[in-house]
Amino acid sequence: MKKTIVYLLALVIVLALAACGKKEESSPATTATPTGELKIVATNWQFDQKEYKVKKGDTLTVSLESKEGAHSVKLDKFGNVGSNQSKAITFDKAGTYTINCSTPCGTGHATMTAKLIVE
C-alpha cells in the first residue's frame, strides 16, 4: 500500500516536470533574441510619437504603456501588443506601416494612429 503511494507521487512529479519542460519550449513567439526595445506610450487618444523608426531585421521587445485609458496597439502585419504588455517582434520587412489602437477606447479611437517605419 505504501509502495503504491510512493509510486504515484513519483509519477505526479515526473508528469509535472514534463509539463514544465514542454511549456518552456513552446513559449517564445520568435526564435531570435531581442536586441533592443521599442517603447510606445498611449494616452487618450494618441501615441507618444507620430513615427516610430526601426531597423529592418531587428528583433525588439515592443512594449505598450497605457498612461491614460486602456489601449492596445496593432503594428500592421507584425502583430498586436496588449495594454501594458510587451512582446518580441522581428521587423523582417522594410516599409511604412500603420500603427493603430486595437482596443475600442472611446471618442478618439478611430484617429489614434501613428507610423511605423522599417528601414
Question: What's the min distance (Å) between Cβ of 37 and Cu ion?
Answer: 23
Residue at grid coordinates 498586436: 80
Between residues 62 and 99, which has the closer beta carbon with respect to Cu ion?
Answer: 99
What's the rounded Cα separation, in Å, for the pair 62 and 80?
Answer: 10
Question: What's the min distance (Å) between Cβ of 53 and Cu ion?
Answer: 23
What's the rounded Cα separation, in Å, for the pair 95 and 60?
Answer: 17
Between residues 88 and 115, which has the closer beta carbon with respect to Cu ion?
Answer: 115
Question: What's the min distance (Å) between Cβ of 90 and Cu ion?
Answer: 25
C-beta separation of 97 from 74 below 8 A: no
Question: What's the min distance (Å) between Cβ of 69 and Cu ion?
Answer: 8
Between residues 109 and 115, which has the closer beta carbon with respect to Cu ion?
Answer: 109
Between residues 30 and 49, which has the closer beta carbon with respect to Cu ion?
Answer: 49
C-alpha cell at 33: 533574441
Binding site for Cu ion (CB under 5 A): 101, 103, 105, 109
Q: Which helix (H) or strand (E) holds 85?
A: strand 85-90
